[in-house]
Chain A
Amino acid sequence: MADAGYGLAFGLYPYAKVAAQDQPPQRHAVVIVGGGPVGLAAALDLGRKGTPVLLLDDHEGVGEGSRAICFAKRTLEITDRLGAGQAMRDKGVVWNVGKVFHGTDKVFEFNLLPEAGHKNPAFINLQQPYFEKFLVDAIRAAQEDGAPIEIRGANAVTGLTDRGDHVVLDIETPDGAYRVEADWLVACDGARSPIRKMLGLTFDGRVFEDNFLIADVRMTADFPTERWFWFEPPFKHSGQSALLHKQPDNIWRMDFQLGWDIDRKAELDPARIRARVDAMLGEAAEYELVWTSIYTFQCRRMKEFRHGRILFAGDSAHQVSPFGARGANSGIQDADNLAWKLDLVIRGLAPEALLDTYSQERVHGADENILNSTRATDFLTPKTEISRIFRNAVLALAKDHAFARPMVNSGRLSVPCIYDGMPLNGPEALDGPRATRVGAPCVDAPLDRGFLLDRLAGQFTILAINAAAPDLSEVDGISVGQLALATDRHDPTGTLRDRYLGANDRAIYLIRPDQHVAARWADCDAAALRAALNTATGKGR
C-alpha cells in the first residue's frame, strides 16, 4: 500500500509551482485525485476525448516497491485503446502454464493458452511501476497531440468541501496550501482513500487474518516462465502456501503465507527472508533481494461508487485479496466504464443519471471480484479444522482424479466483467454467441487487416456484419462510428463469424465506447439504433 513516504521508482511529474497557487481558486471540469494505475487511466481516457482533466498526486512519480504483477487481457485491450498497450506487451513477460503443488507432489498443471485469434495474451507479468510509467508516457504523448491533461505532482489533497454542484479541494504543496474547485471529482486515491475518509463513508467487508511476505529477487535462473504455487510447501519456513512467478528484468516474485500471529519486524529481517528464499530455490541459488514487504488483505467495497459530484474508482472503492490479480485489473475496468460516461455528462450530451450506472455496473464487477477472491482465500487459508480437511482432500484427490482439479483454488484469475441485466442494456435480438451477448465486452477477432478491437476506438460504434446498417453518424450530438464487415472479405479465419454471428448470416451490434455490447439484432432500423443509444446513455427508452 502506498505509504506517505514511499520512494520513487520513476520521478515522472516533479513538483512545479503553478500560477493558480497564488490566485483565487480555479474551476476545473474534472479533478482526479491519485496517480496510481486507475487515476492515470481515467485521466488519459478523458483527456483523449478532449475533456480537460487535472490530476493531483501527493508524490512526484511512481512509487517503488512491488504490488501488482499480473495484468489480464482485458486490461491490455483497454490500455491498447488508450495507446499504452504496445509498451506493456513489449516489456511484459507472457505466461500460460501454471503448476500447483501440495507438499512435494505436483497436483496438476493448467494452461491458460488462450484460444487463438486475440491480439493480446491471457496475461502478462509486469511490475506495477512499469505499468504506471507506460500510462504516464501515453499521457505525455497525448498531451503533445493536444489532449488537455495536466498532472501536478507533490499536490496532496488535505480537505474537501462538497458544495452540491461542485467540490472545493484543499491542497498542500511544498510552497504551501491552495485550493481548486472541481465540477466533478474522481477519487482514485487508493485503498486508504483520504477522500472517502473526509466524507465519512464506510468501507465494509472482511479482513483475512493472514500475513503474506513478498520477496522480489533478481537472479538469472532457468526456472520456466510459469506460475508455481504450493499448498503446504515442502521447503523449510515457507508457511502455508508459496508462489513463484517471473517478472521482467530477471526478477522473480515469491510470496509466502506466514499466518496471523507473527512478528512483522523479525520476519522482515533480510537474513530471515534469505533463509526462506534459500529453502525454496536451493542453497546454491545466487540472487539479490530487490524488494520485500509484508501485507495483509481485505475484501470490501463502498456501498455506492457515486456520491453526488464525487466518483470513486479503483482501490478507493473496492479492495480484494491479490489472489486472482483482480485489484488493478478491475480498477482499469472502472476507469474504462467511467471515462466515457463522465465525458458525455460534462458535454451535456447525457443526463447525470448516467453516472449512477457507473456505480451500478462497477459495484456488480466488484461483487464478482470479491466473491472470487473470498472463495480463493477460503481455500488458501482454511479457517476451521473441517475446512482444512476438505481442502486437503481436494488436493489429494486432484493428483489422481480429474474431477477434483477444478476445485483447487489458488486464485481465479481476473476475467472481464459482463454487465448482465444492467439498465443500459438494450435489445438482445440476435440468437448469437453467449460470449458477445448484450453487456459483454467485445471479444477480439483477427480481421483481414489487424484486429477487431483496434477498430472500436472509444466512441459508440455500429458494427454491421454482412448487413447494411442504417445510415446514422450521430444521435442528438453523440457521434456514432460505423464499422461494416463482410465475413467473405474481412474474416479470413472464420473467427468473427464464430464469435459474433454463430448460426446467423448477419448481425448488427451497437457497441459502447468501452467496447461493451449495448444491443444486438439480426436486423434493425435507425429508430431501433437511436432508441438503444438513448438507453445506453441513460436517457431511458
Chain B
Amino acid sequence: MDLNLTPNLPDPDGFYDELLAAHEGLDKAESDALNARLILILSNHIGDRAVLRQALKAARDSLQR
C-alpha cells in the first residue's frame, strides 16, 4: 500500500479543532508527551512499515533539511 497524501479526512476543520483541543491546557512538555503517544498509537494502527517509512520521509522532506 502507498501512503495516502490526498485529502482523506471528512470535516477537516472539525478534526483540526479536535487535535488542538486535545492539547488544551497542556504545557510544552506535556504537549510533546501527548504528541509522542499519538504518533505511537497511530503508527501501531497503521501497522504497515512501508507506509510508515513513506510518512516519516514525507514529514522530514517537508522540513527541507
**In the complex, which residues of chain B have a beta carbon less than 8 angstroms from the beta carbon of A397?**
37, 40-41
Which among B33, B39, B40 has the greatest number of chain A C-beta atoms within 10 A?
Answer: B40
Q: Which of B's residues lie within 8 Å of A, judged by CB?
A: 32-33, 36-37, 39-41, 44
* A-B CB contact pairs (8 Å), 25 listed: A386-B32, A389-B32, A389-B33, A389-B36, A390-B36, A390-B39, A390-B40, A392-B33, A392-B36, A393-B33, A393-B36, A393-B37, A393-B40, A394-B40, A396-B33, A396-B37, A397-B37, A397-B40, A397-B41, A401-B41, A403-B41, A403-B44, A404-B40, A404-B44, A407-B40
Complex-state Cα separation, A482 to B32, whole angstroms: 63
Complex-state Cα separation, A390 to B37, whole angstroms: 8
**In the complex, which residues of chain A have a beta carbon less than 8 angstroms from the beta carbon of B39?**
390
Complex-state Cα separation, A392 to B33, whole angstroms: 8
**In the complex, which residues of chain A have a beta carbon less than 8 angstroms from the beta carbon of B33?**
389, 392-393, 396
User: Smallest Cβ distance from B52 to chain A, in angstroms?
Assistant: 13
Specify the chain B residue showing the minimal Cβ separation from A398.
B40
Specify the chain A residue showing the minimal Cβ separation from B36.
A393
Chain A, residues 23-42, CB within 8 Å of chain B (1/0): the string is 00000000000000000000
Chain A residues 368 to 420 lying within 8 A of chain B, measured CB to CB, are 386, 389-390, 392-394, 396-397, 401, 403-404, 407
Complex-state Cα separation, A393 to B44, whole angstroms: 13
**In the complex, which residues of chain B have a beta carbon less than 8 angstroms from the beta carbon of A392?**
33, 36
Complex-state Cα separation, A396 to B30, whole angstroms: 13
**In the complex, which residues of chain A have a beta carbon less than 8 angstroms from the beta carbon of B41?**
397, 401, 403
User: Smallest Cβ distance from B22 to chain A, in angstroms?
Assistant: 14
Chain A, interface size: which category?
10 to 19
Since A393-B33, A393-B40, A397-B40 are in contact, a sample of 10 more A-B pairs with Cβ atoms closer than 8 Å, ordered by chain A residue number, is A386-B32, A389-B33, A389-B36, A390-B39, A393-B36, A394-B40, A396-B33, A397-B41, A403-B41, A404-B44
**In the complex, which residues of chain B have a beta carbon less than 8 angstroms from the beta carbon of A403?**
41, 44
**In the complex, which residues of chain B have a beta carbon less than 8 angstroms from the beta carbon of A386?**
32
Complex-state Cα separation, A471 to B4, whole angstroms: 60
Complex-state Cα separation, A392 to B40, whole angstroms: 11
**In the complex, which residues of chain A have a beta carbon less than 8 angstroms from the beta carbon of B32?**
386, 389
User: Smallest Cβ distance from B42 to chain A, in angstroms?
Assistant: 11
**In the complex, which residues of chain B have a beta carbon less than 8 angstroms from the beta carbon of A401?**
41
Complex-state Cα separation, A435 to B32, whole angstroms: 42
**In the complex, which residues of chain B have a beta carbon less than 8 angstroms from the beta carbon of A390?**
36, 39-40
Complex-state Cα separation, A386 to B32, whole angstroms: 8
Complex-state Cα separation, A403 to B44, whole angstroms: 7
8 nearest A-B residue pairs (beta carbon): A393-B36, A403-B44, A393-B37, A389-B36, A390-B36, A389-B32, A393-B40, A397-B37
Complex-state Cα separation, A155 to B39, whole angstroms: 58
User: Smallest Cβ distance from B56 to chain A, in angstroms?
Assistant: 13
User: Smallest Cβ distance from B29 to chain A, in angstroms?
Assistant: 8
Complex-state Cα separation, A186 to B59, whole angstroms: 50
Specify the chain B residue showing the minimal Cβ separation from A407.
B40
Specify the chain A residue showing the minimal Cβ separation from B37.
A393
Specify the chain A residue showing the minimal Cβ separation from B44.
A403
User: Smallest Cβ distance from A334 to chain B, in angstroms?
Assistant: 32
Complex-state Cα separation, A393 to B42, whole angstroms: 13
Complex-state Cα separation, A390 to B33, whole angstroms: 8
Complex-state Cα separation, A432 to B16, whole angstroms: 52
Complex-state Cα separation, A344 to B39, whole angstroms: 54
**In the complex, which residues of chain A have a beta carbon less than 8 angstroms from the beta carbon of B37?**
393, 396-397
Specify the chain A residue showing the minimal Cβ separation from B47.
A403
Chain A residues 336 to 378 lying within 8 A of chain B, measured CB to CB, are none
**In the complex, which residues of chain A have a beta carbon less than 8 angstroms from the beta carbon of B36?**
389-390, 392-393
Which among A390, A393, A403, A407 has the greatest number of chain B C-beta atoms within 10 A?
Answer: A393
**In the complex, which residues of chain B have a beta carbon less than 8 angstroms from the beta carbon of A393?**
33, 36-37, 40
User: Smallest Cβ distance from A383 to chain B, in angstroms?
Assistant: 16
Complex-state Cα separation, A526 to B14, whole angstroms: 72
Complex-state Cα separation, A396 to B32, whole angstroms: 13
Which among A394, A403, A407 has the greatest number of chain B C-beta atoms within 10 A?
Answer: A403
Complex-state Cα separation, A397 to B42, whole angstroms: 12
User: Smallest Cβ distance from B41 to chain A, in angstroms?
Assistant: 7
Specify the chain B residue showing the minimal Cβ separation from A392.
B33
Complex-state Cα separation, A402 to B42, whole angstroms: 14
User: Smallest Cβ distance from A388 to chain B, in angstroms?
Assistant: 10
Complex-state Cα separation, A403 to B39, whole angstroms: 13
Complex-state Cα separation, A386 to B29, whole angstroms: 10
User: Smallest Cβ distance from B48 to chain A, in angstroms?
Assistant: 14
User: Smallest Cβ distance from B2 to chain A, in angstroms?
Assistant: 23
User: Smallest Cβ distance from B37 to chain A, in angstroms?
Assistant: 5
User: Smallest Cβ distance from A515 to chain B, in angstroms?
Assistant: 33
Complex-state Cα separation, A386 to B44, whole angstroms: 19
